[in-house]
A and B are shown apart, each in its own frame.
Chain A
C-alpha cells in the first residue's frame, strides 16, 4: 500500500510565522491578563512568577514588539503574493462564506443534507485570520496610546488613554476567548489538524475540509507558476516599493517603542521642609520649669512684650498706655487694665483670653503675664 497522497498547505516560512505569532500571543496573554485583573489572587501569583509587575510589563512589551515586527513582515509577504505572484486572493471574505456558515450551521442541526463545499480557506479559517488582523490593529493602536500617553494627549483628549486601556483589555479578553473556543475547537479538538506543523494535509483531509481546492489542484488550476520574465519585471517594481514601505513601518515600530520618556524615573526629594525645627533654640527642659521667677517683672518680661505687641496702639497715642510701668498700672478710660494680684479680674487678661485682639499675645506670653499679675505685678 502506497503512502497516502499529501497536499502541501503551508510553506515553511508560513509555519515559522505561525510559531512566532503563537509565541507572541501566548506571552502577551499570560502577561497581559494578570495586569487587567491585577487585584485577583491568581493574577498576583502570575505576576510574582514573572518576577514582579515591572518585569511583567517589560516581557509584555517585548512580545508586543515581536508581534509588530511579524505584522510588518506579513504585510510585505502578502503584498508580494498579491502584486508579484498574483495568486488568487483566497483569504478575502465573500458572500459565499456567509452562505457556507449558514449551511454548516443548518447541517449541524440536521436541517441541511450536505456540508458546504469549501475552497482553500473556509469560513472558519477566514473568521480566525480576520479576527487576528482586527485584534492586532486595535491592540497596536491602543497599546501605542498607553505606551506613549504624553504624545497621545498632544493630539487627542486625555481621556483617550484610559479609554485605550479599556479597549485593550476588552479586546484581550475577546481574543483569548476566541482562540480557546474557535481555534482550539476547530483545529485541536474536532480533529487535530497538524498542517501548521507538518505543512501538508492528506487527500482525505483535503476532501473533507477543502474539496473545492482539491478539485482545483486535480484540474491543474492551482499554483500556476508565473513566467520567469514577468516575475522578474514585477519583482523589480515591487521590491523597492515594499522595501521603502517596510522600512517606514519598521521606523514606526522603533518610534513606537522608544518615542517618549513618559515619566521621570526617580522622584525628586520631598519638599525641603526642615524636619527638626524646634520652637525653642534647645528642646524644652526636661522638667516643668516655670521661667526663672527673677524674670517675672515689668522690666524683665512684661515691658519688652508690651513694647513689641502693644505699643503701636497703647503707647503715647492717648488712652490706655503701656509706655511705662506707671502708665500700665494707671489704666485707660474704662479703668485699670491690670489689677495687681488679681489676673482674673484684670481687663487685659479678659481681652487677651478672648483672642483675636489686634496685638494678640501668644499663649505663653499671656500665661506669663497672668502669672506676673497674680504675683502682684512687680516692677523689678
Chain B
C-alpha cells in the first residue's frame, strides 16, 4: 500500500512539474509558435458560433460569441495568442463553474490576467484613480478590458518607436466616453476636442495627454490642481507647436508673474497639497469645455465673458476690474501702457537716485582714504 501511494505521489509531482514547464515556456515566449495545449479552433468550435449566450443569475445575458475574423484582426490575434493564455482557468469543456453574478463580475474576475504579459502597465494602473475607486467598492471603475477590448484591440503604438499612432490618438476620447460621456460631450465641442475629432489634428490633446494613461491621477485633488499649469504649459510654451496657430508662448510666464500664478507656483513647490482659492488655467479657461479666446459665448477676449469669469471668485468685481489682469501680455507701450511706463520710470529713477548717492559716498570715502594716507605719511 505505501508503495502505491508513493507512485501516485511521484506521478502527481511529475504531472504538475510538466504542466508548469509547459506554462513557463508558453508565457516566457508568447508568440505564434507557442502551443499551450488547447488550440483556438477548439474554443471557437463553440464560441465562434452565433448566439452563444449565458444567462447570469442577475438576469443579465453574457454574450460569449467571439467573431473569429475580428479576433484574427486584433493585435492579440495577429500575435497568435491562444484563448487559454488569458483564460487560464479553462482547459476543456465543461468549464469550471463561474461564480459571477452579473457581467461586471465577469469583467472584474478576468482583468488581472492581463498582468501576465502587460505587467508594466498593469502596475501603473494600481496607482490610478480607477483602481482606488475600485478598491473603495465602486465596481464601475474601469479595468484593463473596459478600455482595451482584448478580443478586438487594435495596435495603439508603433512597434518600433512605442509612440502612440495618430489613429489611436484620435480614438482615445471615444474610449473614455464609454464611461465619461458627459465630459466627452463637453470636450468634443471644445477648441481641442473639435480640432481632434473633426480635423484629426495631432497637435491637440486627447484625454490622456492631460490625465495620463494607466496611472491616471485623481484630478480632483489639490495637488493635481496646483500642478495643472505645467500640464497646459507642456504644449502652450512649445514654440514649434504654438507658432502654427499664432498662439503666444508667454502664457505661463505672464501667469507666473501675476499674483495668482506666483501663489500657485509657491504652493506647488512648498506645500503641494495646499487647497487654494487662487485660479489655475482651467478655472478661467474651462476644464473640458475650453473655448477659443475669441469665442463669442465663452472666449475671455470678450470683455463681458472675462468679467463674469472674474466674478466667479470676485463677486463684487466691477467692469473696470478685469483690466487689473494683463491678459497674458507683457506690458508694452501698446498693451498695458501704464504698467510699462511705471516700470520705465523706475528703470530710470532708481539708477539716478542710487547713482547720485553712490557718487557722493564714493567721494567721501576717497577723501577719507587720502586724508588717512597723508596722516600716516606725516607721523
Q: A274 contacts B266, CB within 8 Å? A: no
Q: B349 contacts A174, CB within 8 Å? A: yes
Q: In chain A, what residue has the closest Cβ to B58? A: A282
Instruction: Give me the interface of B with A, judged by CB distance under 8 Å.
Output: 50-51, 53, 60-67, 70-71, 103-104, 106-107, 110, 140, 142, 145-146, 149-152, 177-183, 186, 220, 256, 259, 262-263, 265-267, 269-271, 274, 277, 283, 287-288, 312-318, 320-326, 331, 336, 338-339, 342-343, 345-346, 349-350, 353-354, 357-358, 360-361, 363-364, 366-368, 370
Across-interface contacts of B71 in A (CB, < 8 A): 288
User: Given A170-B343, A276-B140, are A159 and B324 neighbors across the interface (CB < 8 Å)?
Assistant: yes
Measured between alpha carbons, how far is A279 from B367 in the docked complex, in Å? 87
Q: Does A22 contact B (CB under 8 A)?
A: no
26 pairs, CB–CB < 8 Å, chain A vs chain B: A39-B265, A47-B270, A48-B270, A53-B262, A101-B360, A109-B363, A110-B367, A110-B370, A153-B317, A158-B325, A162-B338, A166-B343, A173-B350, A190-B368, A267-B313, A275-B183, A276-B179, A276-B180, A284-B146, A284-B149, A285-B103, A285-B106, A286-B146, A287-B150, A288-B151, A292-B61
With A277-B179, A283-B179, A286-B103 already in contact, 20 other A-B pairs whose C-beta atoms are closer than 8 Å:
A39-B265, A44-B266, A44-B270, A47-B270, A52-B267, A52-B271, A104-B364, A108-B360, A157-B323, A162-B325, A177-B354, A178-B353, A181-B358, A186-B361, A270-B220, A270-B287, A271-B287, A277-B181, A278-B179, A284-B178
Across-interface contacts of A275 in B (CB, < 8 A): 180, 182-183
Q: B149 contacts A162, CB within 8 Å? A: no
Q: Does A230 contact B (CB under 8 A)?
A: no
Smallest CB-CB A-B distances: 3 pairs: A158-B323, A170-B346, A289-B63
Q: Does A5 contact B (CB under 8 A)?
A: no
Across-interface contacts of B267 in A (CB, < 8 A): 52-53
Q: Does A255 contact B (CB under 8 A)?
A: no
Q: A283 contacts B350, CB within 8 Å? A: no
Distance between A212 CB and nearest chain B CB, rounded to angstroms: 20
User: Given A170-B349, A287-B151, A289-B63, are A262 and B50 neighbors across the interface (CB < 8 Å)?
Assistant: no
Across-interface contacts of A104 in B (CB, < 8 A): 360, 364
Give the number of residues in A that approach B within 8 Å (Cβ atoms).
74
Across-interface contacts of B314 in A (CB, < 8 A): 150, 262-264
Measured between alpha carbons, how far is A52 from B324 in the docked complex, in Å? 25
Q: Does A290 contact B (CB under 8 A)?
A: yes
Across-interface contacts of A288 in B (CB, < 8 A): 66-67, 70-71, 149, 151-152
- Residues facing B in A263-319 (CB within 8 A) are 263-268, 270-271, 273-280, 282-290, 292-294
Across-interface contacts of A169 in B (CB, < 8 A): 346
One of B140, B287, B342, B367 near A278 (C-beta < 8 A):
B140
Q: Does A238 contact B (CB under 8 A)?
A: no
Across-interface contacts of A171 in B (CB, < 8 A): 346
Q: Does A105 contact B (CB under 8 A)?
A: yes
Measured between alpha carbons, how far is A342 from B117 in the docked complex, in Å? 40
Measured between alpha carbons, how far is A264 from B259 in the docked complex, in Å? 15
One of A157, A263, A279 near B320 (C-beta < 8 A):
A157
Q: Does A113 contact B (CB under 8 A)?
A: no
- What string of 1s and 0s marks CB contacts (under 8 Å) between A165-204 and chain B? 1110111011001100110011000100000000000000
Q: Does A28 contact B (CB under 8 A)?
A: no
Q: In chain B, what residue has the closest Cβ to A261? A: B316
Q: B263 contacts A162, CB within 8 Å? A: no
Measured between alpha carbons, how far is A320 from B256 in the docked complex, in Å? 63
- What string of 1s and 0s marks CB contacts (under 8 Å) between A134-156 and chain B? 00000000000000011001101
Distance between A380 CB and nearest chain B CB, rounded to angstroms: 15
Across-interface contacts of A161 in B (CB, < 8 A): 324
Q: A274 contacts B182, CB within 8 Å? A: yes
Distance between B95 CB and nearest chain A CB, rounded to angstroms: 14
Across-interface contacts of B346 in A (CB, < 8 A): 166-167, 169-171, 173-174
Measured between alpha carbons, how far is A270 from B103 in the docked complex, in Å? 32
Q: B367 contacts A107, CB within 8 Å? A: yes
Distance between B134 CB and nearest chain A CB, rounded to angstroms: 12
A-B contact count (CB 8 A): 219
Measured between alpha carbons, how far is A107 from B361 in the docked complex, in Å? 13
Across-interface contacts of A173 in B (CB, < 8 A): 346, 350
Across-interface contacts of B53 in A (CB, < 8 A): 292
Across-interface contacts of B186 in A (CB, < 8 A): 273
Measured between alpha carbons, how far is A6 from B283 in the docked complex, in Å? 66
Q: In chain B, what residue has the closest Cβ to A106? A: B363
User: Given A39-B256, A279-B177, are A292 and B321 neighbors across the interface (CB < 8 Å)?
Assistant: no
Distance between B235 CB and nearest chain A CB, rounded to angstroms: 22
Across-interface contacts of A190 in B (CB, < 8 A): 364, 368
User: Given A44-B266, A158-B320, A270-B287, are A174 and B177 neighbors across the interface (CB < 8 Å)?
Assistant: no
Q: B283 contacts A267, CB within 8 Å? A: yes
Distance between B374 CB and nearest chain A CB, rounded to angstroms: 11
Q: A264 contacts B324, CB within 8 Å? A: no
One of B140, B339, B342, B366 near A108 (C-beta < 8 A):
B366
Across-interface contacts of B321 in A (CB, < 8 A): 149-150, 153, 158
Across-interface contacts of B368 in A (CB, < 8 A): 190
Q: A283 contacts B146, CB within 8 Å? A: yes
Distance between B345 CB and nearest chain A CB, rounded to angstroms: 7
Across-interface contacts of B363 in A (CB, < 8 A): 105, 108-109
Measured between alpha carbons, how far is A173 from B358 in the docked complex, in Å? 15
Across-interface contacts of B312 in A (CB, < 8 A): 268
Q: In chain A, what residue has the closest Cβ to B288? A: A273
Distance between A319 CB and nearest chain B CB, rounded to angstroms: 32
Q: In chain A, what residue has the closest Cβ to B366? A: A108
Distance between B180 CB and nearest chain A CB, rounded to angstroms: 6
Across-interface contacts of B274 in A (CB, < 8 A): 52
Across-interface contacts of B345 in A (CB, < 8 A): 170
Q: Does A325 contact B (CB under 8 A)?
A: no
Measured between alpha carbons, how far is A171 from B104 in the docked complex, in Å? 66
One of A35, A178, A263, A280 near B313 (C-beta < 8 A):
A263
Q: B180 contacts A277, CB within 8 Å? A: yes
Measured between alpha carbons, how far is A335 from B110 in the docked complex, in Å? 49
Q: Does A351 contact B (CB under 8 A)?
A: no
Measured between alpha carbons, how far is A279 from B64 in the docked complex, in Å? 21
Q: A108 contacts B317, CB within 8 Å? A: no
Q: A44 contacts B269, CB within 8 Å? A: yes
Q: B262 contacts A38, CB within 8 Å? A: yes
Q: A160 contacts B277, CB within 8 Å? A: no
Distance between A355 CB and nearest chain B CB, rounded to angstroms: 11
Q: B336 contacts A108, CB within 8 Å? A: no
Q: B277 contacts A263, CB within 8 Å? A: yes
User: Given A149-B324, A276-B179, are A166 and B316 neighbors across the interface (CB < 8 Å)?
Assistant: no
- What string of 1s and 0s marks CB contacts (under 8 Å) between A84-121 and chain B? 00000000000000000100110111100000000000
